Amino acid sequence: MTSPFVTRDGSSWMPAYLSAIDGTTCIGCGRCFKVCSREVMHLYGVDDAGEILGICDEDDDFDGELNRMIMVVDHPGRCIGCGACARVCAKNCQTHEAADNAAA
């Protein structure tokens, strides 16, 4: 089926929206966040038991509970499906969904 989406010159283009990141595989490297222009995902803290503690920013102090950080897709609706995040992820832990399959 031909994509209803096009680039500026009218070429067919199928956006692939970021829908999920596997928190068991993600290493929280931050590369995907750096290349994303839409703030679709953010780093979250995780404790020893794997529970998500909350979003990480410079002021966060998780009272010693912080074990590691993972990237979480917390604003999927902002994604334009450019695919930049997929290209920089070395862990292959992202799930993308073609725009013609994505729920409205």
Residues in touch with ligand SF4 (CB under 6 A): 18, 21, 26-32, 35-36, 38, 40, 71, 79-85, 88-89, 91, 93-94
Nearer to ligand SF4, 14 or 27 (CB): 27
Minimum Å distance from CB 55 to ligand SF4? 14
Rounded to whole angstroms, what are the CA distances from 23 to 1, 27, 46, 95? 33, 8, 9, 12
Minimum Å distance from CB 88 to ligand SF4? 6
CB 41 within 8 A of CB 29: no
Minimum Å distance from CB 92 to ligand SF4? 8
Nearer to ligand SF4, 23 or 47 (CB): 23
DSSP code string of 64-98 = T---EEEEEE--GGG-----HHHHH-SS--EEEEE
